Structure 1
Amino acid sequence: MAVDPLLKQAQGVWETLAAVPVSFPLVGGLNVVTSPASQLAPPSWTGIVVLGDSAIVTTPTDRAAQVLRQILARIPTSSLTSAEAVGAVLPVSEVLGPAVLGYVSRDGFRPVPADRCVERLAPGHQDLTTLVKSVPPEDAGESGMDEITSAAFVVRKGADVVAAAGFQVWPAATAHLCVLTASGERGRGLARQVASAAVAQALADGLLPQWRARPMASRNVARALGFRELGSQLSLRLNQGELRLED
């Protein structure tokens, strides 16, 4: 079977973030490991990542890992990041996601022609902070713009920054893209413009661009730039006291 280089590279990102030795099964299915330091999910949570036909799961305790191996093996891999499917068989108290994971190679990238002036700002610049504060908190949190480590690529309307993109440098040479557009300026192609500049920089830096999104509008921006949706991610807070092995 031919190996998809982009998929293999994406899987390597999350295998690294698991913080313990684990790999995506070669022929489908899932691997569950105990990893209190995992970055697949917030601390003390369970993280599930599906890429291609395979999945890895990290959870903070050996007992939880034992239960998850038994119960999740009965769920189709394609349903492992469905909050409804997992919630039907596990005692879930809180959920983050699911989010779709997209990646793009240098050859697959489709840059947007520069029909607007894209300016470069330092991360944490006052004008960038003003944009983040201007949108609803859930939009700001979804974008991750206040956590970028790269330069911010921005478009202005007058003196105001109305769209911005950058990335966080993750382990395994990954550029996690962050994009935000002012609430009243959406639907005009600004996100594609600034994101294109950020992706071009990430590729120039030798990084793998990663796009994690839930809203369809964000996913459409990624697709327009050539990102391929290779999988998804779900994070769960489990009621540890209610985890039970089945007879």
Structure 2
Amino acid sequence: MQQDDARVLANVRRLWQGLASPTARFAAGRVAVVVNAGSMACPPGWIGVVEIDGSALAIVPDDDTAKRLAIDEESPRTVGTIEFLRSRIAIAEVLGPATLDYLLPGRFRPAEDVDVVVSKANDPAIEALLSKVEDDEASESGIFGITSPLFSIRERGRVLAVAGYRSWPLGVAHMTALTAPDARGTGLATALASTAVEHALDAGLLPQWRAGDNNPGSRAIARKLGFSAVGRQLSARPAVAEWPAPSAE
């Protein structure tokens, strides 16, 4: 591994440790259990598994959940599957699994230049695009809450695709892209995401790309731009047992 790559991976580990808990630490080749109901590495009260370069953090909301999962001796790859979690505990909702990709030094492969319009999130044309996709798809894309300029490609005033990024701790730029359903497969998202990535690099940030396993198109964009698969992420909401209704007696 090149020295620059090792430096980036160390920064990525620090990022996820900080999101998981102030005391969280990866253990080489193992699963480190983190008890923190308010972790930012997954929704509050959920179970979260973040694997980076062969080591994993397993975030749980309480000690009881940690005991029920009994994951200390499991491999990082095994713990990061919904099948494993469901074999140990009832799960009500799942986010992921998803691949965590990072643009390691010197790997960027820019796409061809396109005509890009810099927009604001409240632009009616952007809102029109969002109305064409499902709410969960728009949310998963990460288009809400970006801190960069919002880049868009338009045709006769209609927005076909948007891209940008949100600034994360430790100089990480979480990339986002969204394309209108009838414009997918045309390369627009790749070209536009390339513009956003270049903007992040010029700002001295480390681009991060998260793509769910159910979204191969997003993962393909990351590969085309030179991102490397560094880790995996999975979040799961434990099912809460319902207590029986009190007796009338």
TM-score by length of 1: 0.89
Does the Cα contact within 8 Å between 2:108 and 2:227 map onto a contact in 1?
yes
- The residue that corresponds to 2:9 in the other structure is 7
CA distance in 1, matches of 2:84, 2:62: 22
What's the RMSD between the two structures over aligned residues? Answer: 2.0
Whether 1:92 aligns to 2:91 is yes
- The residue that corresponds to 1:235 in the other structure is 235
- The residue that corresponds to 2:174 in the other structure is 176
CA distance in 1, matches of 2:124, 2:50: 35
- The residue that corresponds to 1:22 in the other structure is 24
Shift in Å, 1:103: 0.5
Shift in Å, 1:64: 2.4
- The residue that corresponds to 1:36 in the other structure is 37
Shift in Å, 1:110: 1.1
Q: Deviations over 1:166-224 (max 9, x none)?
A: 11111222111110000000111001111001111111112211111111110000010
User: Structure 2: 5+ residue runs without aligned partners?
Assistant: 243-249
Secondary structure of 2:236's aligned partner: strand
- The residue that corresponds to 1:59 in the other structure is 60
Q: Larger deviation: 169-178 or 219-228?
A: 169-178
Q: Deviations over 1:49-86 (max 9, x none)?
A: 01111001222223323444xx2234322122211122
CA distance in 2, matches of 1:131, 1:207: 28
Number of equivalent positions: 238
Shift in Å, 1:106: 4.2
Shift in Å, 1:105: 2.9
Does the Cα contact within 8 Å between 1:19 and 1:35 map onto a contact in 2?
yes
Q: Deviations over 1:102-152 (max 9, x none)?
A: 0003411111120x2012113333322221112222321221212212111
Does the Cα contact within 8 Å between 2:50 and 2:231 map onto a contact in 1?
yes
CA spacing shift, 1:124–1:167, aligned 2, 3 Å: farther
User: Structure 1: 5+ residue runs without aligned partners?
Assistant: 243-247
CA distance in 2, matches of 1:155, 1:145: 15
CA distance in 1, matches of 2:134, 2:240: 33
Secondary structure of 2:92's aligned partner: strand
TM-score by length of 2: 0.88
